Chains A and B, each alone.
Chain A
Amino acid sequence: MDTPILEMRNITKEFPGVKALSNVSFSVAQGEIHCLVGENGAGKSTLMKVLSGVWPYGTYTGDIFFNGELQSFKHIADSERAGIAVIYQELALIPELSVYENIFIGHEIGNGFTVDWNETIKRANEMLARVRLDVNPATKIRDLGVGKQQLIEIAKALSRNVKLLILDEPTAALNEDDSENLLNLLREQKAQGVTCIMISHKLREVLAIADTVTVLRDGQTVCTLDAHKGEVTEQVMIKHMVGREIDNIYPPRVGHQPSEDVVFEVRNWRAYDPALGRTVLKDMNFKIRKGEIVAFAGLMGSGRTELALSLFGNPTHYQISGEVYVQGKPVAFGHPREAIKSGVAYLTEDRKGNGLILIQDVKQNISLANLEELAHRGIVDANAEIKVANEYRASLNIKTPTVAQKVGNLSGGNQQKVCLGKWLFVKPNILILDEPTRGIDVGAKYEIYTIMNQLVQQGMSIIMISSELPEVLGMSDRIYVVSEGRITGEVPTAEATQEIIMQMATN
């Protein structure tokens, strides 16, 4: 367990205006599970991109030793050949292809000219068994949930005889069961001699699985902690990550009670998805009061995102029926624009896919949904836009050199804050947050929670869709539990426990 399989020495990587890594040293012992933690923008993903050749040799300074040899990867293919596989948070599977085609893509089994499909399927079955996934290898990827897709990514990596498996926030999009599954799988791989680096913001998982933890802060290694010596606790990690102690992950809301006025009400809401040919939402009824945070708990895929979208102008074009009341008045939104006009905003769970315009800069993304306010007779006031963007940059603590930085260059957590900034700028009365803290570090989570508290204190109502039960219990006033497109329960948070919610979510 002691010889390092990987040693990165004095790695420095700069981007225009940002020093993402400065003199980082990082060492991973053979056969361990090594977790990499740190705030958003600390440089975790960048360090792994340097290692895997996404940022080729020569674009950074410092040395990488892998398997005892000095390496100069110019391309991802080079690091793959050396036995390093990276699974990024954005899954790289091809939705229209089958499981077995995806597992062996780029490494097809055959004589170099034709593919031996029988052998491929046989080997795919072996790999699926290894990751304990019970699916037909002919299934198309798009028919599988994220949890299963994640496992297939791992199967794909394992099929290439990896020695070092790197997972960048693998459980961010997984529910508790799937996450637990994945962690178990990593333990098994470890027993078979695969070394593993995992980046995660979920400290409980880190606690459960890590042999060693390295903390990065502002592009520097803060410390390396050994779990077997009892050095790893949540408090210690948090302290090193943010540089100060946070004793309460969920900031208390002082002296605020939601009022009795109902601002948003949905009755007999049904939605039918013509593309899938099935009913996705069935007879949903709920109410949201002014100044209230209402959580929609449930398993991944239970229909909460579909509910939010169908209410938010129905951009997915479901056939919907039922009634919606905003401030007591019946409404029917035909387009997200109309929902926004009525004071409803929806922060997506998929910020890269449909939340942000990655090739545009911070200010353009923040102003996007409310450009009219910054314009006179259709002409955008560029100064006002910069001013607004800087305000949100300050109040949300977005880490970026300037608001003219491309959003694609920001770290995940800061991208999320930009998304949030966009929706706060439309000044909604009802804010729907879909997995608002996915992929976000503890410090930023705390900030976002604090902002949510401020918003409800100012009279906004928040619908929070979350698959993380501690967050649901820590932040909401009331909880609806959704399962298979139905509301299966409602509890005031004061009376709720994880067990009660899980039971409602799975019945």
Chain B
Amino acid sequence: MFIKDLQRILKQNIREYGMYIALFVIMIIFTIATDGIFISSRNISNLLNQTGYIAVLAVGMTLVIVIRHIDLSVGFLAGFLGAIAAIALAFWKLPMVVVIPLVLVLGALAGLFTAFPVAQLKIPAFVASLAGWLIYRGALLLVTASTGTIIIANDTFNAIGNGFIPDIPGVEGFLPGVHKLTLLLGLAAIVLFVISQLNDRKKKQSYNFETLPMNVFILKLVFIALVLAAITWVLAGYNGLSWTVVVVLIVVAVYHFITTQTVLGRHIYAVGGNPEAAELSGINVKKITYVVFASMGLLSALSGILFASRLQSATVTAGTLFEMDAIAAAYIGGVSAAGGVGNVMGSLIGSLVTMSLTSGMNLMNIDIAYQYVVRGAVLLGAVIFDVATRNRGK
């Protein structure tokens, strides 16, 4: 009975669970292939830090694709704004608290700039953002032309991409070598997750909506709690939670909240689902387009900051192909080019999948040429899987 239920649920929701399973399988394969180095605390911590600047882009890209557009300019925009941040810190000697908001605002403005031809003149976003791609690439070359790589000497700024959250003071004796605050936060996350799932289930049942059978539900809770616990334990065993991960978690949490709980989020998905119907229902489709592209620009700026901080410098090639990684992550995470479908959690998982592939293959010393082929194959596989499972249960 239980096995049957489980099989049925898996089958019905295969589309939703598919990417989690894929991530799991990929991690296991690499763990075996690298004799466990892949799953080591140090590697996982590195992996998450590398995922950071792609994940924030993927989150923004998800919304762009949900409203049936695309933004190709984000990679070089990130690179360019990273360079601006570096220049502001290194040459203009501006303090970090000024530089970061400044760069974020510039990012949002750049997003509005891309949105203008799309919303106002109905120019395909592919073309409008391709123009942006060229422009920002040129701009990046320009600002780094005289100096080449710009070294950032600001330690606080560099900590965003390389530092870790401090531990609770005064408990060094207890569990030495383990990051206590990380453990505590992990525990809190698990508790919060279980409580919110239970509440959600109760509410659904009170409305007679479909819910998972009790045993499958418990299995799901236990499974996710274990995964969270494992991640926490692995991270706590190294330096704990990095600032990058904190930033990504905040971004994902905020966007998850906006997309699922707010009027704005609902309007975005309505526009994606049927722009004509949305317009006739009083939703300003143009405004939503501007908002979504501005958010994309803002997150590009954040991505640029994370990357520059991680490298502790701005380089001439920063941001190259980020847009492709972000788009791939979003598609692996289940967004649909037909619009109206996709969520930011999925895109986070999608980013982890892409970055795990890169990290794992690097550890295995696989030639970069093959790496591209493998990543392409995985993207194709994910999209085929998505299309093939889309009509299930319909």
Contacts and interface: CB of A to CB of B under 8 A. Distances in A.
Interface of A: 15-17, 312, 315, 335-337, 339-341, 346, 348, 353-360, 364, 367-369, 371-372, 375, 378-380, 382-383, 386, 390, 402-404, 409, 422, 426
Contacts of B282: 335-337, 339-341, 369, 426
A379 B257 CA distance: 9
Given A355-B280, A357-B274, A371 B267 contact: yes
Instruction: Tell which of B276, B280, B340, B341 has the most Cβ of chain A within 10 Å.
Output: B280
Contacts of A16: 12, 210, 393
Contact of A358 (B12, B274, B276): B274
B184 interface: no
Contact of B280 (A348, A360, A390, A403): A348
Contacts of A369: 281-282
A357 B280 contact: no
Interface in B255-310: 261-264, 266-267, 269-270, 273-274, 276-284
B270 A368 contact: yes
Given A336-B281, A379-B262, A360 B210 contact: no
A404 B209 contact: yes
A402 B277 contact: no
B283 A356 contact: no
Contact of A372 (B263, B280, B284): B263
- The 3 A-B residue pairs with the shortest CB-CB distance, nearest first, are A354-B276, A357-B273, A337-B282
A442 B267 CA distance: 35
Contacts, number: 93
B394 interface: yes
Nearest to B282: A337
Interface of B: 12, 203, 207-210, 261-264, 266-267, 269-270, 273-274, 276-284, 340-341, 393-394
B284 to A, nearest CB: 6
15 contacts: A15-B394, A336-B279, A336-B282, A337-B284, A356-B274, A357-B277, A360-B270, A368-B277, A369-B282, A371-B267, A378-B262, A378-B264, A379-B263, A380-B262, A382-B261
B267 A354 contact: no
A337 B283 contact: yes
Given A337-B283, A357-B340, A369-B282, 14 more contacts: A15-B394, A16-B393, A315-B280, A335-B284, A340-B282, A353-B277, A357-B277, A357-B278, A368-B270, A368-B278, A371-B263, A372-B263, A375-B262, A409-B394
B212 to A, nearest CB: 14
Contacts of B210: 16-17, 402, 404
Contact of A379 (B261, B273, B341): B261
A297 B236 CA distance: 73
A402 B386 CA distance: 26
Given A380-B261, A380-B262, A360 B281 contact: no
B273 A380 contact: no
Nearest to B394: A409
Contacts of B263: 371-372, 375, 378-380
A402 B207 contact: yes
Nearest to A55: B394
B392 to A, nearest CB: 10
Contacts of A367: 266
Contacts of A340: 281-282
B203 A383 contact: yes
A357 B283 contact: no
A422 B281 contact: yes
B262 A354 contact: no
Nearest to A347: B280
A19 to B, nearest CB: 15
A42 to B, nearest CB: 20
A281 B282 CA distance: 23
Contacts of A390: 207
A339 B284 CA distance: 13
A380 B266 contact: yes
A312 B340 CA distance: 25
Contacts of A353: 276-277
A402 B278 contact: no
Contacts of B264: 378
Nearest to B269: A360
Contacts of A315: 276, 279-280
Contacts of A335: 282, 284
A382 B393 CA distance: 25
A83 B18 CA distance: 40
